[in-house]
Amino acid sequence: MDRAAHRPGLLMRVALFLFCGFCGLALSGCAAALNAVTPSGDYRLVSDLAYAPGERRVLDLYLPRHVTATAPVVVFIHGGSWDSGSKDIYPFVGQSLASAGIVVAIPNYRLYPQTRFPGFVEDAAKAVAHVERLVADSREGIPKGRHPLFLMGHSAGAEIAGLLATDGRYLAAAGSSIRRLSGFVGLSGPYDFLPLTEERYKRIFPKAVRQASQPVNFVSGDEPPALLITGDADTTVDPKNTRSLAARLKAAGVAVTAKIYPGIGHVGTISSFSTVLPLGDRRIRDEVIGFVGRQAR
C-alpha cells in the first residue's frame, strides 16, 4: 500500500497549499483553507464578546491553553479595504499567536457604507479599551498579573491600528491611552496614501477629514515601539507607506524596525502566520512573536 495513504493530514496540507497557490492567494479563499487545518487544541476560543452596542461591535478572544500572569495581549485589526472583512477570516492568526503564549483579541468593526472614516477607528479604539477592562478584571480565564498590550493590523487594519498608536484622541475617548501600549505591529499597511484616486475611497474618507486618516500626520514621539513589515511584491499597498511611517517614527525618536521582504505580496505577510501550511515567509511570524516577546519584558 502507498505509504501516503497513512498520512491524510499531509495530503490535505499539500492539497490546500496547491489550492491557495492556484487561487493567487486571495485572502478570503486562502484563509478558509488555512482555517480548515488550523489546530484547535492550541487555544481556547471565546466568541462574539460585545465591546459596544451594535451587530459589528463584537470580538473573539483566543487564549493559550495555559495563560500565564505575564502573557502579552495582542489586539489584531483585520483588513478588507475598510468596506469588507471579518474576524471570522482570521482564526489562523489567533491560533498562531496563542500557540506562542499570547492572548489575542480580534474585533469586528463597522464597515463602509454603514460608517465612514473615522467611525471604524473609533470602533477599534472601543474594542481595545474593552480588552483592557477584560484583562484588568481577570475575566475569561485571564489571570491577574502584568499583561503588556500590543496593537497589530494587516492592510486597512494596519492603518486603523496605526492611527490608534499615533493619534492619541481615539484611545483617550474610549477610556484608554497610547501610553498603555507596549508596541505596534503593522503588516502591509497604508499609512501615507494621499491623494486618493479611486472614487470608493473618496467616499470612505470624506475630504473634510481626509488628512486625519494618515498615521504619518500624527507622529509626535509618544508612540510605542513599532515593527513595520511589508513585501516588495505588494501591488495593493505600495511599500513606500512602510518606509514613510518608519522614517517619521525614527525622526521622532521612536524605536522602529521596518522590514521589506523580497518576493512577498500583500497577502503574503498575513498568510505567513499559518503554522500548518508553508505560505508567505515563516520569518515574518517569528519576527512578530520575537518583537512582542522583547517589548513585553
Task: State the residue for C-alpha cell 478584571.
Answer: 137
Identify the CA nearest to 204 among candidates 126, 123, 122, 114: 114
14-27 per-position pLDDT tens digit: 444 444 544 444 56
Q: Chain centroid to CA 186: how far?
A: 7
Half-sphere exposure of 114 (CA within 13 A, CB side): 14
DSSP 229: E
Burial tier of 251 (Cβ tally within 10 Å: 0-12, 13-18, 19+): exposed
How many other C-beta atoms lie within 10 A of the C-beta of residue 240? 12
Write down the pLDDT at residue 28.
65
Burial of 29 (0-12, 13-18, 19+ CB in 10 A): middle
Q: What is the DSSP string of 46-87?
A: EEEEESSSSTT-EEEEEEESS--TT--EEEEEP-STTTS--G
Residue 201 scores a pLDDT above 90: yes
> pLDDT of 96-134, one tens digit each?
999 999 999 999 999 999 999 999 999 999 999 999 999
pLDDT at 33: 64
Angle formed at CA 46 by CA 151 and CA 77, multiple of 5 degrees? 25
Q: What is the rounded CA–CA span in Å between residue 274 and residue 149?
A: 23
Contact 106, 59 (CB under 8 A): yes
Q: Are 266 and 187 in contact (CB under 8 A)?
A: no
Q: Mean pLDDT throughout 250-264?
A: 98
Looking at residue 192, the DSSP 8-state letter turns out to be S
Cα 201 from Cα 145, distance rounded (Å): 42
- Name the strand (E) or helix (H) holding 268: helix 268-271
4: pLDDT strictly greater than 70: no
pLDDT of residue 10: 44
Return all residues near 180 (Cβ < 8 A) that are at least 6 apart: 132, 149, 171
| pTM check: above 0.95 | no
Q: What is the pLDDT of residues 55-82, one digit of tens each?
A: 999 999 999 999 999 999 999 999 999 9
Q: Rounded mean pLDDT of the chain?
A: 91
- CA–CA dist 2, 138 (Å, integer): 51
Q: How many percent of the chain have pLDDT more than 70?
A: 86
Q: In the prediction, which pLDDT does 279 show?
A: 79
- Per the document, the length of the chain is 297
Mean pLDDT of 209-215: 99
**pLDDT for the residue numbered 74:** 99
pLDDT at position 277, please? 76
Query: Could you tell me if 276 and 286 are in contact, meaning their C-beta atoms sit under 8 angstroms apart?
Result: no
H/E element holding 169?
A: helix 169-174
CA distance 269 to 275: 13
Task: Give CA–CA dist 222/180, Å, rounded.
Answer: 11
pLDDT-based confidence at residue 39 (cuts at 50, 70, 90) = low
In the chain the domains, ranked by start, together with CATH numbers, are 40-295 (3.40.50.1820)
Residue 208 reports pLDDT greater than 60: yes
